Amino acid sequence: MKKVDDEKLLQMLAEGKAQKEIAAFFGCAPSFITKRKRQLQAAEVEEPPTFAGLTEKEKKFCLAKAEGKTNVQAATIAYEVTSPESAKAMGYNMMQKDTIQASIAEIMDVHGLTKEARIKQLKALVYHRDGNISLKALDQTWKLDGSYAVKPDDEQGRLGIINVIKHLQIIHRGGPAPAAIEETTGGD
């Protein structure tokens, strides 16, 4: 296959030429142009400034977390762990570091997943017409704000959460208005 001139490829893309047209110009398949375009764009992305003080393994961990992996999955990808327990401990320890948290947040910001964008999307899902989607989104909001961090002896807090879930299920089936939730849970 004929070698593609990357500068010419980028120039043609900037001019708004179709990938089929570019592929014909270079004498290759359009899928090759798509693949090469992705490779060139990935190379253009610079490392966030917060990566400066991180090791290669810490960078791998941050990238895996920003992709949506769990702490255990990210630790397994980035480090040579011998067991799920050690991966869990490693993931937990990594997430306690301010530099790691800052790097993950910066990666997400660079790709348009700012905190505000995520909140907006979560809000849209909370008010989704599908009750299952709405309940899952509410579950995420409760995890984020610490609502599940109820002490084992706090029976009232646990019952409050259970009542909210039951009422939300009723509302999604066409039951009472949202104001009924405050009345039964005591406004908490």
Q: What is the pLDDT of residues 136-149, one digit of tens each?
A: 888 888 777 777 66
Mean pLDDT, the chain, integer = 78
> Crossing angle for the helix pair 30-44 and 19-26, nearest 10 degrees?
100
112: left (phi over 0), alpha (psi -120 to 50) or beta: left
Here the tokens at position 73 are 């999955």
pLDDT band, residue 86 (cuts 50/70/90)? very high
Query: 113 vs 94, which has greater pLDDT?
Result: 94
Give dist(CA 187, CA 111) in Å, integer. Answer: 38
Q: Give tens-digit pLDDT for 20-59.
A: 999 899 888 888 888 888 777 655 556 778 888 899 999 9
| Phi, then psi, of 38 in degrees rounded to 5 | -60, -40
> Which pLDDT belongs to residue 1?
43
pTM value is 0.48
| Secondary structure element (H or E) that encloses residue 118, with its range | helix 115-126
The dihedral over CA atoms of 64, 68, 74, 76, expressed in degrees to the nearest 10, equals: -110
| Highest mean pLDDT of the ranges 2-6, 34-38, 59-63 | 59-63
